Amino acid sequence: MANVLVTGGAGYIGSHACKALKMAGFTPVTLDSLVTGWVEAVKFGPLEKGDLLDRAWLDDMFAVYEPVAVMHFAALSQVGESMQQPGKYWRNNVMGSLTLIEAAVEAGCLNFVFSSTCATYGEQDNVLLDESCVQAPINAYGASKRAIEDILVNFGQSHGLRHVIFRYFNVAGADPDGEVGEFHQPETHLVPLMLDAIEGKRPALTVFGTDYDTPDGTCIRDYVHVMDLVDAHVLGLKWLENGKPSRVFNLGTGKGFSVREVMDHSRIVTNRAVPFVEGERRAGDCTKLVSGSVRAEQELGWVPHRSTLEVMIADAWRWHQSGHYDG
C-alpha cells in the first residue's frame, strides 16, 4: 500500500485521518513530536517521533517511506495562547510547515493536503463564508495558517507542488467505533469541556462571552463531525492523485449554532444538564463563523453524513464514557 506522511497523526484530527487513510487502502505514517499528541492514538500505521523544524530528520522520513503525499495537521491551535504568544505560533506553525514543504519538494513528493482553518477569514459578521471571501485573521493562529497557504501557492508556482487546502469550521465528535477520540491537555474545545463538566471532571463549563451580537448573546459556530472531515481529506488526496489542480475547500455544514444551543442539545443527548458559569470574552474570538460554501460537495462529492449536533455529541459522549488516553 502507498505511504502517506501524516504530520500530527497522534492528535485529534490526525488520528482520525489515519484511520480513514487505512480504510481507503493507504498506509498512514505518523510524524509527531508528541508534545500535544498521544502514542495511544497511533493505531493504523507506524509512528516516527520528531520535530518538523529538524530538516535532516524530515529528509530521512521521505527517503525511508517514499510517500505519495503529505497530509499536514501538525500545528499549535489555541487562539487565546496565540494572542499572548504570537512568536510561538509563527515559529512552530509557519517555520515548521516551511521546512516540511521544502523537504517534500526536494524529495519529489508533490501532493500536499493541508489542514487550514476558517480563522483565516477573521471577523466577518453576517457573512456566510466561502472560499472567495477576504482573509483577514484577527489572531496569530489564523494568521499563521494563512501564511502557510501562501507558502503552498508560492511553491506550486516555483516547483509544481500541488495542494488541497481545507479551511475547517469547528470540528467535533469522535470515531463511532471508539478506537480514537478527542482528548487535549489542556482542553479548550467546547464539546469535551462540556462533557467533562457533565461528568464532574471539572466544576463547570465556562461560557466565554454572553454579550455578543447574536440571538442569545453567545458565539455562533458551524460544527462538522471529525469523521466527515477526514473523509474529505481522503477525497482531497484522490483529487490530487487524479491530476486535478490545486484547490481550496471550506469544510462546514452551513448551519450555525450558539454555545447555548450546543448545551441544549447536549442535555437532550446525555439527559444531563450542563453545569456552567459565565465568563468574559476571550481575546481573538469571532462572533460568528459559518460556512456558505458548496464547493466541496460539488467538486469533491463530499457529503457530511454525521454532522448533526445530536450525532456529534453522542459520539463524543460515548468516547468520554469509554475512557481516554490518560487512562
Judge whether 168 counts as a catalytic residue.
Answer: no
20 near 31, Cβ under 8 Å? Answer: no
Helix axes 12-23, 226-241, angle to 10 degrees: 60
The DSSP 8-state label assigned to residue 291 in this structure reads B
223 near 170, Cβ under 8 Å? Answer: yes
113 strand-pairing partners: 71, 164
Containing 222, the helix (H) or strand (E) segment is: strand 220-225
227 near 23, Cβ under 8 Å? Answer: no
In angstroms, the Cα distances linking 85 to 46, 80, 90, 139 are 33, 9, 9, 10
Give residue 33's Cα distance to chain centre.
Answer: 17
Q: CA–CA separation, 129 vs 139, rounded Å?
A: 18
| Single-letter code of the amino acid located at 257 | F
Total residue length of the chain:
327
Q: What is the gyration radius of the CA atoms in the chain, in angstroms?
A: 19
The count of C-alpha atoms lying within 13 angstroms of the C-alpha of 325, restricted to the half-sphere facing its C-beta, is 20
In the numeric block, which cell numbers belong to residue 318? Answer: 460515548
Residue with cell string 445530536? 310
Q: CA–CA separation, 7 vs 125, rounded Å?
A: 33
Active-site hit among 12, 65, 121, 141: 141
Catalytic residues: 141
